[in-house]
């Protein structure tokens, strides 16, 4: 056929892909090793991979692979005029540019075991990045820091800062309580 199916994923962490046969990095949580160099000799025109999700799935050691990967990541930034126009429309609907903060928190599934640490890190990062405070100051450790008074100079508006939180956790999840209390 014209298609080579690399895997029938039996688990989320089925295969780990290596750019060099000489790499000695362990499989870790993955079950099978696939050396990408071995695929160069395949006669099929299309290679069908299973899941490629996961920041550790691809082991990049070759300089040419590093250059390719960096270029790919840079080129993946959306630069389509239609998409950018839609983004501008959404920005105008949710608070205009520089009047809100967007936060993404993966807290479900296997991320749940670290959810409290993740939420605390989000709080710390928002306080650090948008309040002008740096880690280690006494004010940084105070849970009742008035975020709007210290944060709004970073934005165009003197009104309350809007924080949009995208998460797979329910709004009433216990792990989100510190975040909701800090940024109601």
Looking at residue 146, what is its pLDDT?
A: 52
CB atoms within 10 A of CB 67: 11
The ranges assigned to domains in the chain are 3-75, 81-182
Looking at residue 75, what is its pLDDT?
A: 82
The length of the chain in residues reads: 184
The three-class DSSP label of residue 163 is: strand
Average pLDDT, consecutive stretches of 10 residues, N- to C-terminus, the chain (184 residues): 82 89 94 92 89 85 93 81 88 78 84 89 86 41 45 50 85 90 84
71-93: burial string, b at 16+ Cβ within 10 Å, e else: eeeeeeeeeeeeeeeeeeeeeee
On average, the pLDDT of the chain sits at 80
Q: Is 157:99 a contact under the CB 8 Å cutoff?
A: yes
Q: Is 182:121 a contact under the CB 8 Å cutoff?
A: no
User: Rounded to two decimals, what is the model's pTM?
Assistant: 0.53
Looking at residue 179, what is its pLDDT?
A: 92
Looking at residue 136, what is its pLDDT?
A: 36
Looking at residue 81, what is its pLDDT?
A: 87
Task: Answer positive or negative: Cα dihedral of 130, 133, 139, 143.
Answer: positive
């Amino acid at each position: 056929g014209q298609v080579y199916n690399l895997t029938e994923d039996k688990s989320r962490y089925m295969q780990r892909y290596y750019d060099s046969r000489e790499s000695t990095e362990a499989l870790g949580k993955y079950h099978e090793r696939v050396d990408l160099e071995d695929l160069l000799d395949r006669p099929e025109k299309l290679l069908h991979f299973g899941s490629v999700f996961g920041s550790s799935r691809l082991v990049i050691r070759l300089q040419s692979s590093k250059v390719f990967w960096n270029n790919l990541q840079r080129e993946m930034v959306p630069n389509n005029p239609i998409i950018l126009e839609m983004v501008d429309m959404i920005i105008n609907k949710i608070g205009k540019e520089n009047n809100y903060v967007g936060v993404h928190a993966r807290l479900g599934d296997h991320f749940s075991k670290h959810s409290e640490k993740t939420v605390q890190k989000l709080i710390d990062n928002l306080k650090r990045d948008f309040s002008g405070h740096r880690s280690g100051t006494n004010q940084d450790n105070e849970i009742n820091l008035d975020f709007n008074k210290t944060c709004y100079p970073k934005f165009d508006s003197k009104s309350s800062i809007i924080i949009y939180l995208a998460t797979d956790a329910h709004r009433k999840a216990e792990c989100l309580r510190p975040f909701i209390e800090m940024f109601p």
